[in-house]
Structure 1
Amino acid sequence: MVLLRGPKNSREAMKHFGPAPGVPHNHTKPYVRSKGWKFKKARGKRNNKELGLKMLFLESIFALEFKLDRIDLS
């Protein structure tokens, strides 16, 4: 007789193993009591790639305009 069991790595506990939840590019599930906004705030700021790209774009435009203003065209 053979007992058939599911995959061991799909256990809920296994989802919490691995690099720390704050490390970039990991998918480790953090231990949180609840998913409310207060608890998300306590876990620290999440990386927002979209906001970073917008800021980089705006900074590059500002730098280009600043360089053009300093060039004497007369």
Structure 2
Amino acid sequence: MEEVVDEEDEKLKNLREEWGEEVQNAIRTALEELNDFNPSGRYMVPVVWNFGKGRKTTPKEGITHMTKEVKTLKRKL
């Protein structure tokens, strides 16, 4: 079972009219992500995000980044 965003929803239409399509798309994306990552409760869960690629970070990317950060901190000390 999958929930789909209703394009004819009155609140979504009003949002587009008042704030534009970019804001409407951001809201739609947020709702879809809430459904993907936590469909049972729609409450936020922490996710490591790769902003450059617009997606969740892979475990390898996360470990690589943390390793670089630790090395940088060691150099500063």
TM-score relative to the length of structure 2:
0.33
Larger-Rg structure = 1
Higher-strand-fraction structure: 2
TM-score relative to the length of structure 1:
0.34
